[in-house]
Amino acid sequence: MSERNHTKSSPILEVKNVVISYKMGDFREIGIKEWLMRKLTNNYRVWYFKAVDGVTFNLYKGDMLGIIGSNGAGKSTLLKVVSRIMEPTEGSVVAHGNISALLELGSGFDPDLTVKENTYLRGAMLGYTRKFMDEMYEQIIEYAELKEFEEYNFKQLSSGMQSRLAFAIASLVQPEILILDEVLSVGDGAFQEKSAKKMQEIINHGAATILVSHSLNQIRKLSTKILWLHKGKQIAFGSNVQEICDKYQDFLDGRIQIEM
């Protein structure tokens, strides 16, 4: 399955033949002395594991890409490359716009600082000025539904509350490219619904959004394009979201198999 022709002039995100491989070997299980002895006697094994293997896709303004795949498919690793946390072993990622990535909900926060202090800290880490954060702070804290918890230490919040704050900071700054890894499934049903509406608002403003989710219903509802990964390889990519989701469900249910 392939991407249909797009009427817009140029992509905001170009991912071309991306490979992410890790060097593996006996050094993971032995000490350096034994490793040196094995190397001298050629009794040493080295191999490469490809966490992502040849992924290619383009995104345009207004696209919402849902990424699906079982555990170990390479979804989170790919997002780290797109968000510039990692460099690809092969291939290229070119972004024509600012990226806001929400990959690990607890990252960028200090557990011993207050919610308010952490909001400013997170904003600074994303490159936002103090003036900008002053202007956005009340909107962020209200959206996260944490007004009465401003002076609580971050570690005192539940994981759902922490996630709401992280999502609010990432989504309310109107990035040109927004990357979300399993964050719309946190919190109660009301907040999940509010998050989904916010995603639609961001799309309507022209941002390109990437969402990884184990909720196939969420992917079906929000995505305009879909990428299916399996053991690092690209199985399908395109705008035929429902069709690809149906085949993925068939795979999960054991009705079809993937030939690698």
Q: What is the DSSP string of 115-171?
A: HHHHHHHHHHHTT--HHHHHHHHHHHHHHTT-GGGTTSBGGGS-HHHHHHHHHHHHH
What pLDDT shows up at residue 16? 97
Least confident segment among 11-20, 154-163, 198-207: 198-207
Please, which pLDDT band fits residue 4 given cuts at 50, 70 and 90?
A: very low
Helix axes 115-125, 159-171, angle to 10 degrees: 40
Distance CA 25, CA 187 (A): 41
Terminal alpha carbon distance of the chain:
15
Which tens digit of pLDDT belongs to each residue from 164-180? Answer: 898 888 777 677 898 88
Asked if the model's pLDDT at residue 119 lies above 80, the reply is yes
What pLDDT shows up at residue 3? 44
Token representation of residue 205: 């403003």
Beta pairing, strands 46-59 & 13-25: antiparallel
Which tens digit of pLDDT belongs to each residue from 40-61? Answer: 777 767 778 899 999 999 999 9
Please, which pLDDT band fits residue 7 given cuts at 50, 70 and 90?
A: very low
Burial annotation 226-254 (CB, 10 A radius, 16+ → b, else e): bbbbbbbbbbbbbbbbeebbebbeebeee
What pLDDT shows up at residue 97? 87
Please, which pLDDT band fits residue 108 given cuts at 50, 70 and 90?
A: confident
What pLDDT shows up at residue 174? 73
Asked if the model's pLDDT at residue 17 lies above 60, the reply is yes
pLDDT mean across residues, the chain: 85
Please, which pLDDT band fits residue 197 given cuts at 50, 70 and 90?
A: confident
Asked if the model's pLDDT at residue 227 lies above 80, the reply is yes
Q: What is the mean pLDDT of residues 155-162?
A: 89
Asked if the model's pLDDT at residue 5 lies above 50, the reply is no
Distance CA 61, CA 51 (A): 28
What pLDDT shows up at residue 241? 97
What percent of the chain has a predicted confidence (pLDDT) above 90? Answer: 51
Q: Give the Å distances, CA to CA, from 221 to 93, 216, 242.
A: 27, 9, 9
Token representation of residue 87: 């460099």
Asked if 79 and 179 count as a contact pair (C-beta separation under 8 A), the reply is yes
Q: Give the Å distances, CA to CA, from 10 to 7, 54, 96, 257.
A: 9, 22, 9, 36
Asked if 177 and 99 count as a contact pair (C-beta separation under 8 A), the reply is yes
Beta-bridge mates of residue 99: 177
Asked if the model's pLDDT at residue 81 lies above 80, the reply is yes
Asked if the model's pLDDT at residue 199 lies above 80, the reply is no
What pLDDT shows up at residue 82? 93
What pLDDT shows up at residue 1? 43
Q: What is the mean pLDDT of residues 74-99?
A: 92
